[in-house]
Structure 1
């Protein structure tokens, strides 16, 4: 079989398992009605009139307060753990490679499935939280280990990463199809039957690792990110088999770049090692395109980068945005029921959200690429901030139409936000430390997102199911953190552009002086 055919099979296998295993836990809104119907945590409910009871006992489709909080906490732990695991995944990848990473992920998925399938026989620990958490950790292991496949076809690296990311976003539809089947065709499809059948997924992943996936050592996350952003390998050279046409379409310009004078082309402000001709050219263009943001902390140790305002302010913004997204995913039905004042309308909105969440990521991927390719980093970040605040404001209103608009914006915004954060980290901190810095950003955000359960309890008990106060606080924090980040980046970008301009003027003056000396023979 041709090498290209093997690579295509590898990519196809990765996309298939990402569709089923990369991030199904984010389909919690679709799974929750099934958990309630099958009585998960129903033992926490008390007779009507008790402080824990907020709904009629004879309405099994609506959980009592204690049950609702425990179910939401299950998602909170899972979603937080997913992001915390990013740092662990990067460490295992760098140390052992993608094959071991795939085996670890498939083992975690299998254990999680068994925990949920045999929950009625497990008493030493909470089988639901344990099982959901294991699925949450297994997802990043099998997902992130596929990024190396972007190196298979360097000219199509962006497309490959887009397909893999799209599969991750679509994986939240797994529980939606489960709910659809459970409520309409197979009411006997219990948790035990579903998760026993789901074991075929980790088996498939393990088989692919043994029979299909590449054996060579893992290319670091920074290498993949560099290929995506610059079109170059980690050494700053063209990938094997490339002629540079994907970077510089004009042949004359390519030949000029490789001429004797091309070594003078270099980024105006660079802290990095000695760079190749191609790297100099690409990074000089990126510095101009991003208004000086690209390369601002390249070459510095990760410790210094993490202590800088560039990291701290992005961390604050990321924590708030992630908290808002996961809080809504966990509580969409109860929020809409309060805001719309109708159980049926809330069910309808929940059903729309279940479909829109996986589709949103897939539909928005081409537009995300267009924005990042044609807009500066600051413009992309400002767009994320404006959309985030708009979604928050729409979520405060008692209107079905406006709430629906907010949900549709949210499902498209979610992958856009994650992509912009990743792009920011690559351009600001560089590729050598990308895995560490980005992994730490996601890890800290995941840990702090555990406070979601506190917000949930406050909504239930203090505000009597009214989500507006908590959402108002989160929107305010979004405005504060995004404004602070944008102000800082804009200020630093302006100062950096001024320095670049000054150095360029000095370079032109020096070149003019050298020409004069040659003209007069001095």
Structure 2
């Protein structure tokens, strides 16, 4: 079997397992009705709760041990299960990055398949487990296994340098689509096979971690792992970690005009050192591409390159983005966990709430998948600041639409949310790579996700306040979240704008000085030779 054929099979295997294992926990809105119907945590409800529910909601049909509408204690417990799972997924990102860097992708994938196996077994054998909570434990284990098997696939983009962006888009699309797993389960359960209990479903799900284990053992690459920073560098710059074109590239797509090259390199060298973090002299391609990116991003690219991870984490560039990420993630996960109850209160109809919930279950995986190509176009043609402004604006519009008791406007907000979710995550990772650099990307981005995951555990506090303090009215909590989003996003945008403007002005001063003096610094001989070789090719 040829090298390309094997690499193609590896990509297909990775996309397949990501579809089933990367992030199924985010399909919680579709799984929740099954959990209620199966009587999960129904023991927390008192007889009074059940009587009140059925008496005040004559349109509901009693199902098994409870009704489609859970009591407050049951609802809070189920929502907490998702809150803990979603938070764990982000917290574990830092651990995944460490395992990848130290032990490589094989160990990472094997660990992920192990967590998925334990999670599925915990949920499948829940009726026989009494010494710990099998539902929360199982859901959290699935949440841990997802990042391990998903993030470890990014390295496959290096197998197709010309198509690295496409490979990453396909993997990300598979991650977004994995939330459809529970939606498909719900369709089968409610329409064709009501006997497909949680025990049967998760027993059958064990084939997924087995498939992952077998693929990693016999098909996936064992060596040549590249760090997450290397993947980001290839995606953004089109160069490898040594600053050169990947093997098999001829460089024709970025051969610069000589005058433009000298102008960019001279102004760039006045702002940045010519050495990388590992004291390696940057190649001419690297300096040229980074100068182009700095100009395109209006000075944002490279602003924290060369600093240690600790210095970067203490900077406003990290702190302000962290505040923005926390509030955005909190809003997304809060809505996913409570979509039905929110819509029921706003629309005043249980049937309409069910309809919205059903539409959301379909839109979440499909919308994310459809939006991926457009996300690439936005990042390719817009500056980093523009992308942040777009993310912030869309986030605020979604929040405002969620405050209005209108079926059509709420539906519009949902369609925007499912497209916004992958856009938001992509912009954040793109920001981290361009601002902090590729050498520290795994640490900085991993910590960003980890801290936001920890803070998102506070979602249970918001949920409890909605149930108790505000009598199921989601408007007060959502209003506060929208207001905080406005504050954090505005602060981030203003800071980035001021800093980029100041750096852009310095770049213009250097360019004017070069034009006035009519002098062009000569490139080092070794770089000139390399440029000549590449240009000739």
Normalising by the smaller structure, the TM-score range is over 0.9
C-alpha separation in 2, matches of 1:388 and 1:318:
11
C-alpha separation in 2, matches of 1:458 and 1:41:
20
Offset at 1:431? 0.3
* Alignment check: 8 A CA contact 1:267 1:283 kept: no
- Judged with a 3 Å threshold, the aligned counterparts in structure 2 of structure 1 residues 280 and 14 are, in CA distance, closer, same or farther, namely same
Partner of 1:4: 4
Offset at 1:275? 1.4
Question: Gaps spanning 5+ residues in structure 2: where?
Answer: 57-61, 523-537
- Judged with a 3 Å threshold, the aligned counterparts in structure 2 of structure 1 residues 193 and 387 are, in CA distance, closer, same or farther, namely same
Offset at 1:267? 5.0
For residues 266-324 of structure 1, give each alpha carbon's deviation from its aligned partner in whole angstroms, at most 9, with x where no partner exists: 45522452311111111111011000000000010000000000000000000000000
C-alpha separation in 2, matches of 1:196 and 1:514:
67
For residues 80-134 of structure 1, give each alpha carbon's deviation from its aligned partner in whole angstroms, at most 9, with x where no partner exists: 0000000000000001100110000000000000000000111111100000000
C-alpha separation in 2, matches of 1:427 and 1:259:
21
Matched, 1:41 2:41: yes
1:298 to 285, 302, 305: 305
Matched, 1:439 2:446: yes
Partner of 1:518: none
1:200 to 190, 193, 207: 207
* Alignment check: 8 A CA contact 2:41 2:74 kept: yes
1:144 to 124, 127, 151: 151
Partner of 2:183: 176
- Judged with a 3 Å threshold, the aligned counterparts in structure 2 of structure 1 residues 257 and 125 are, in CA distance, closer, same or farther, namely farther
* Alignment check: 8 A CA contact 1:98 1:217 kept: no
Partner of 1:13: 13
Partner of 2:31: 31
Matched, 1:60 2:49: no
Partner of 1:121: 128
C-alpha separation in 2, matches of 1:513 and 1:133:
59
1:474 to 469, 481, 492: 481
Residues 74-153 of structure 1: pairs in structure 2 closer than 5 A: 74-153=81-160
Question: Gaps spanning 5+ residues in structure 1: where?
Answer: 516-522
C-alpha separation in 2, matches of 1:247 and 1:56:
70
Offset at 1:265? 7.7
C-alpha separation in 2, matches of 1:500 and 1:354:
48
Residues 160-171 of structure 1: pairs in structure 2 closer than 5 A: 160-171=167-178
Aligned length: 509
Partner of 2:531: none
- TM-score (normalizing by structure 1): 0.94
C-alpha separation in 2, matches of 1:466 and 1:489:
36
- TM-score (normalizing by structure 2): 0.92
Matched, 1:389 2:403: no
Matched, 1:269 2:276: no
C-alpha separation in 2, matches of 1:134 and 1:341:
36
SS at match of 2:203: helix
* Alignment check: 8 A CA contact 2:267 2:511 kept: no
- Judged with a 3 Å threshold, the aligned counterparts in structure 2 of structure 1 residues 487 and 261 are, in CA distance, closer, same or farther, namely closer
- Alpha-carbon RMSD across the aligned residues, in angstroms, is 2.0
* Alignment check: 8 A CA contact 2:346 2:404 kept: yes
- Judged with a 3 Å threshold, the aligned counterparts in structure 2 of structure 1 residues 415 and 53 are, in CA distance, closer, same or farther, namely farther
Offset at 1:390? 0.1
Residues 233-244 of structure 1: pairs in structure 2 closer than 5 A: 233-244=240-251
* Alignment check: 8 A CA contact 2:375 2:423 kept: yes
Offset at 1:68? 0.2
C-alpha separation in 1, matches of 2:49 and 2:157:
58
* Alignment check: 8 A CA contact 1:20 1:171 kept: yes
- Judged with a 3 Å threshold, the aligned counterparts in structure 2 of structure 1 residues 259 and 330 are, in CA distance, closer, same or farther, namely closer
C-alpha separation in 2, matches of 1:17 and 1:135:
13
- Judged with a 3 Å threshold, the aligned counterparts in structure 2 of structure 1 residues 268 and 379 are, in CA distance, closer, same or farther, namely farther
437-446 vs 40-49, which moves further:
40-49
C-alpha separation in 2, matches of 1:389 and 1:259:
41
* Alignment check: 8 A CA contact 1:265 1:280 kept: no
